[in-house]
Chain A
Amino acid sequence: MNLRGIWAVFRKEFRENLRDRRTLLSALVFGPVLGPMLVAGVVQFSISHSEEQYDENITIAVIHGERAPNLLAYLNARGVDSTPVDLDEAGARRAVADQTHKVILDIPEDFGARLQEGQPAPVILYSDRSRNFDRQSVERVRSLVGQYGLEIAQLRYLARGIDPISVLPLSVQEVDVSTPSSRSVLVLNMMTYLVILSMLFGGLYLAIDATAGERERGSLEMLLTSPVPREHLIYGKILAAAAYMAISLMLTVAVFSVSMSFVGLERLGITANLGPRAAAKLIACCSPLILFGASYLSIVSGFAKSYREAQTYLGLVITLPTMPLLFAGLLGLQAKLPLMLVPFLSQHLLMTTVVRAEPIEPALMVVSVASTLVYGGLLMWLAGRLYRREGLLG
């Protein structure tokens, strides 16, 4: 091993990129600062939004409100104001679809008559269920209308001499076993994803510059005439990209740790485990990925003919290994031994465990670290093989 050669390449790439605004911005600003700010912003916003929805009066549109004055008074007493609108069915659908109104309550003509006859009286509620944001208002109106109906039913039973309690055979009591910390995972799942992505971005531009960029500038050929084995040249470059990734990772976790303490997570009933000790654990879980990521990006950009081409490839390729993370969220995967063999996924699951404030089984940690390092080493070796090819010069 020509360690001096590897060290020389590493130092030069590190220093050169320290002077490159693009590398610096992506390693030190975009991922580490913007990512956490984004998450903090989203969390803060959803907290204030949900508090608002429960505290504040909402206003719904009502068609033919004059047909059900008592219902409207009932709603009004419980914080739901109404504005009268005059729309037909198609008009109501359109108004909800284009978000002129979030919720429209339509009282059909026979409402009063059927209510008096003791038949089910129809009430039409227009809403757009695909809009997550309005779901709470819709649920609130729906349950209030339901309660109103229930109260009428109880009055009817009483009028017929039946104890209203006897027609409620079941009483469902919901028990939510999620702990505050495990609930936080739902909110902070996005965070581990961003930590990994931000880490990769930290080394992205260096990886491109050191491979495709060097070829495009025409300095690669001169570099290859130096008495350093070709694979050692790329090892030095990979290690330099890894150094930037490490810096990016540490900064990102640190900024997350600080910024989340300013967000009122406890108001959402969430306590995130993001103190200095947890931050150190997050970095420890994620750092074995650095070698993997740096080699991976260097290999892909090594195939590109130009800087631009490499940028295009990497834009796609960088999201590829993070795909399993999205599925992990959807499937609710837990940290288990076989999953520790999957790079990116294992780090994600371990970091999630840390955020939940649950203990990490040493065996899981060992398998995750060892397997990811082995893959990273293999990729690095592969990058070395690629650099031995003549086709490298293009």
Chain B
Amino acid sequence: MLEARGLCKSFGNVVAVRGVSFCARDGQITGLLGPNGAGKSTTLRMLYTVLKPDEGDALIDGRSAIADPLGARRSIGVLSHGAGIYNHLTARENITYFGELHGLSRADRDARAAELIELLEMQPFADRLAKGFSQGQKLKTALARALVHRPKNVLLDEPTNGLDVMAVRGLRKLLVQLRDAGHCVLFSSHVMQEVEQLCDEVVVIANGQVVAAGTLADIRAHGGDRLEDAFVALMEPAPASDSPRGGAKT
């Protein structure tokens, strides 16, 4: 379970996140929805312990990301925005490296890598050097790397960016599998359809604040019967200051 408690973060004079609180539960897929520049990435980065909040705290399975970042990291798997992989390692080596960093024994991380390679259907390229991988192959490698230590909580920052339809479908399938296995899945997106198809709960963020949270039905109640209409209605009172609403990130 992931819990944001009054998270605040500024970079110099720019306030990125101002008092974000929400909860992402186990066995659910939670979507962090918002326009570009709304503070989604910053919020996620505080949750996955790379940034320290100025105020508030991020709790991972009840463990404070500020007080015990190393402990918190053991139970999270992260796919950061544009996650890069190591070109001179094979896909399998990329995965086992992170297994090693997480303290898995050699036998354990080898077995786990084989398991993930099968799950993500990576067999054709698992033992090739990552140099020249397609976008989809890179994403699968990065995902497997994030899951190597069987994290209870999985955080993904705009995971579908730059992927083709087949790769997106594969990712969706995996997220559903993770949810059904009882994991807590939190991902950020600005794509309505994606959120609509996947999420059990949605947290709408604009201008560094939570403007709505709840099930899809709860969000839709804010206006119109499509999520997009509701989203636009939510943006009206608090438009994102520095970007067009719902504009597509490339």
Contact = CB atoms under 8 A, between A and B. Distances in A.
B80 A225 contact: yes
Given A222-B78, A222-B146, A5 B101 contact: yes
Given A8-B100, A12-B89, A19-B129, A221 B70 contact: no
B97 interface: yes
10 contacts: A9-B101, A12-B86, A16-B88, A222-B79, A223-B101, A224-B49, A225-B48, A225-B50, A226-B73, A227-B101
A221 to B, nearest CB: 4
A226 B83 contact: no
Contacts of A11: 100
A388 to B, nearest CB: 10
B121 to A, nearest CB: 22
Interface in B59-85: 70-71, 73-74, 76, 78-85
Interface string A208-250: 0000001001110111111111000000000000000000000
A4 interface: yes
Given A4-B100, A390-B51, A225 B88 contact: no
Contact of A227 (B70, B87, B146): B70
For chain A, the bracket of interface size reads 20 to 34
Contacts of A221: 45, 50, 78, 80-81, 83
Interface in B144-162: 145-146
Interface string A188-221: 0000000000000000000000000010011101
A390 B74 contact: no
B103 interface: yes
Given A5-B101, A8-B101, A226-B73, A218 B82 contact: yes
A17 interface: yes
A-B pairs, 8 with minimum CB distance: A218-B84, A217-B84, A219-B84, A226-B101, A8-B100, A221-B80, A19-B88, A227-B73
Interface string A355-394: 0000000000000000000000000000000000010010
A111 to B, nearest CB: 76
B98 interface: yes
A225 B84 contact: no
Contacts of A20: 88
A12 B98 CA distance: 10
A19 B128 CA distance: 13
B52 interface: yes
A390 B82 CA distance: 19
A19 B45 CA distance: 32
Given A16-B89, A218-B82, A225 B52 contact: no
B102 interface: yes
Given A5-B101, A19-B129, A393-B50, A218 B70 contact: no
B146 to A, nearest CB: 7
Interface string B119-149: 0000000000100000000000010011000
Contacts of A226: 73, 98, 101-102
B233 to A, nearest CB: 34
Contacts of B76: 225
A224 B70 contact: no
A135 B97 CA distance: 62
Interface of A: 4-5, 8-9, 11-12, 15-17, 19-20, 214, 217-219, 221-229, 390, 393
B97 A8 contact: yes
A386 to B, nearest CB: 16
A390 to B, nearest CB: 6
Given A219-B83, A225-B48, 12 more contacts: A4-B100, A12-B93, A17-B88, A20-B88, A218-B83, A221-B50, A225-B78, A225-B80, A226-B98, A227-B73, A227-B102, A227-B103
Nearest to A215: B84
Interface of B: 45, 48-52, 70-71, 73-74, 76, 78-89, 93, 97-98, 100-103, 129, 142, 145-146
A19 B87 CA distance: 10
A15 B86 CA distance: 11
Given A16-B86, A19-B129, A227-B74, A222 B80 contact: yes
A390 B73 CA distance: 16
Nearest to B72: A227
Nearest to B69: A227
Interface centre among A15, A16, A393 (most CB of B within 10 A): A16
A225 B73 contact: yes
B85 A219 contact: yes
Contacts of B89: 12, 15-16
B101 to A, nearest CB: 4
Contacts of B97: 8, 12
Given A16-B89, A222-B78, A393-B50, A228 B101 contact: yes
Nearest to A7: B100
A4 to B, nearest CB: 6
A225 B83 contact: no
A222 B83 CA distance: 7
Contacts of B70: 227-229
A240 to B, nearest CB: 13
Contacts of B45: 221
A222 B142 contact: yes
Contacts of A229: 70
A217 B70 CA distance: 24
Interface centre among B52, B78, B101, B129 (most CB of A within 10 A): B101
Contacts of B145: 222
Contacts of B83: 218-219, 221-222
Contacts of A224: 49-50
Contacts of B142: 222
Contacts of A9: 101
A259 B137 CA distance: 48
